[in-house]
């Protein structure tokens, strides 16, 4: 989908408002879901350009840290995880200790959580920028409200608006291309050589699962039919991608199809998945992190939307099509269908998705 137009000034990168003293060590707390990381990339790049001489560090969930394996413009990554009970308390203390050790003089908080701001306070970061959300207003030194008009725009604009209002930093919403780590690309090329059955055919990635819930998941039988149509009409091969927890779903889809598919879910880190997608000719799948990565890489990308709002979280890029049926009850933004029928998804046919892939040139 095309990005919502902003003013020319908002789309230009400009220096940040002068801070006294100028930040020398900047910490960015990244968001917690893969798709959100993609949508926050324009803001992260804007921070980098605004403070070119500062050391830039990212505090990011451990399972997402490899997203930045190829990002040489980031100086350091602080991966973290938080367990439960006593382990969770120890994990939080460790995070705060790492923030203190970094001696950061500015923290930019992309998530809206209280915890993100609280960690920065306990980590003795003197300047903290973010949205006033989750009762954390008193913990922020540079803050702005999440205005209602943002809810009518794509989520990519949220992070840019926050930067503009708190620190005077402007960025380009189209600047969301992930960095492909060359060693990951080589390892994924080797993986494909070992697993492909039709190496001369087109390779289409499918994102058949979604962490959000069943209201985002197109039926497995529809995916199986699409795999067979791609194989039998275009001699194309499919690779099913996702996290380890999604492998069983991917295997069910591959088994249900007559022609089968490669299953990469659970065999790649996020960074390797980015590299694998960069080797594909197209993508079709649910509203998911993989969809956002594929679109940002410039792949012909078909996003299948049910309960969620494509205007808010649709794929970013010129080679994208959203397939959705606008029923009276959608987008409901619910994880499960309150009516139990999931018609917003079940009524989308494999022919519609196949036609969209063709229209984008994925099968040429």
Q: pLDDT by residue for the chain (364 residues), tens digit each?
A: 444 433 333 333 333 445 777 899 999 999 999 999 999 999 999 999 999 999 999 999 999 999 999 999 999 999 999 999 999 999 999 999 999 999 999 999 999 999 999 999 999 999 999 999 999 999 999 999 989 899 889 999 999 999 999 999 999 999 999 999 999 999 999 999 999 998 899 999 999 987 766 767 899 999 999 999 999 999 999 999 999 999 999 999 999 999 999 999 999 999 999 999 999 999 999 999 999 999 999 999 999 998 888 899 999 988 999 999 877 777 866 778 677 777 878 899 999 999 999 999 999 8
Say how many C-beta atoms besides its own lie within 10 A of residue 65's C-beta.
20
Cβ atoms of 239 and 215 closer than 8 Å = no
Tokens of 186: 């080589």
Q: Which residue segments constitute the domains of the chain, with CATH numbers given?
A: 25-167 (3.40.50.2000), 182-359 (3.40.50.2000)
Phi, then psi, of 94 in degrees rounded to 5: -65, -40
**331 cis-preceded (ω within 30 degrees of 0):** yes
Instruction: Please report which helix (H) or strand (E) contains residue 177, including its range.
Output: none
Distance between CA atoms of residues 141 and 136, nearest Å: 11
Cβ atoms of 127 and 107 closer than 8 Å = yes
Largest Cα–Cα distance of the chain, in whole Å? 65
Provide CB contacts within 8 A for 259, sequence distance 6+: 227, 228, 231, 232
**88 cis-preceded (ω within 30 degrees of 0):** no
Distance between CA atoms of residues 113 and 10, nearest Å: 26
Instruction: Classify residue 82 as exposed, middle or buried by CB count within 10 Å of its CB (0-12, 13-18, 19+).
Output: middle
Instruction: Classify residue 85 as exposed, middle or buried by CB count within 10 Å of its CB (0-12, 13-18, 19+).
Output: exposed
Identify the sign of the CA torsion 124, 159, 209, 58: negative
**7 cis-preceded (ω within 30 degrees of 0):** no
């Amino acid at each position: 989908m095309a990005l919502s137009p902003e003013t020319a000034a908002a789309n230009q990168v400009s220096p940040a408002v002068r801070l006294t003293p100028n930040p020398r060590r900047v910490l960015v707390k990244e968001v917690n879901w893969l798709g959100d990381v993609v949508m926050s990339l324009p803001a992260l790049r804007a921070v980098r350009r605004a403070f070119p001489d500062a050391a830039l560090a990212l505090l990011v969930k451990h399972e997402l840290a490899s997203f930045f394996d190829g990002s040489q413009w980031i100086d350091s990554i602080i991966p973290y995880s938080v367990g439960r009970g006593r382990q969770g308390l120890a994990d939080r203390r460790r995070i705060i200790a790492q923030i203190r050790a970094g001696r950061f003089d500015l923290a930019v908080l992309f998530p809206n959580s209280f915890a993100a701001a609280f960690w920065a306070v306990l980590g003795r970061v003197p300047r903290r920028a973010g949205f006033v959300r989750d009762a954390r207003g008193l913990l922020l030194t540079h803050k702005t409200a999440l205005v209602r008009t943002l809810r009518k725009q794509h989520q990519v604009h949220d992070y840019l608006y926050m930067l503009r209002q708190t620190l005077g930093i402007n960025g380009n919403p189209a600047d969301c291309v992930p960095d492909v780590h060359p060693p990951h690309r080589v390892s994924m090329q080797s993986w494909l050589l070992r697993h492909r059955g039709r190496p001369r055919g087109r390779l289409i990635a499918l994102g058949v699962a979604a962490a959000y819930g069943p209201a985002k998941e197109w039926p497995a039988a529809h995916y199986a039919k699409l795999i067979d149509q791609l194989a039998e009409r275009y001699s194309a091969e499919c690779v099913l991608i996702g996290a380890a927890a999604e492998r069983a779903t991917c295997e069910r889809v591959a088994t249900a199809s007559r022609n089968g598919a490669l299953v990469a879910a659970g065999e790649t880190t996020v960074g390797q998945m980015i590299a694998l997608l960069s080797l594909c000719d197209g993508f079709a799948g649910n509203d998911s992190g993989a969809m956002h990565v594929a679109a940002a890489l410039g792949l012909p990308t078909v996003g299948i939307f049910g309960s969620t709002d494509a205007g808010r979280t649709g794929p970013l890029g010129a080679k994208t099509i959203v397939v959705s049926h606008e029923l009276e009850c959608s987008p409901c933004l619910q994880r499960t269908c309150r009516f139990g029928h999931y018609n917003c998804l079940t009524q989308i046919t494999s022919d519609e998705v196949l036609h969209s892939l063709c229209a984008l040139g994925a099968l040429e």
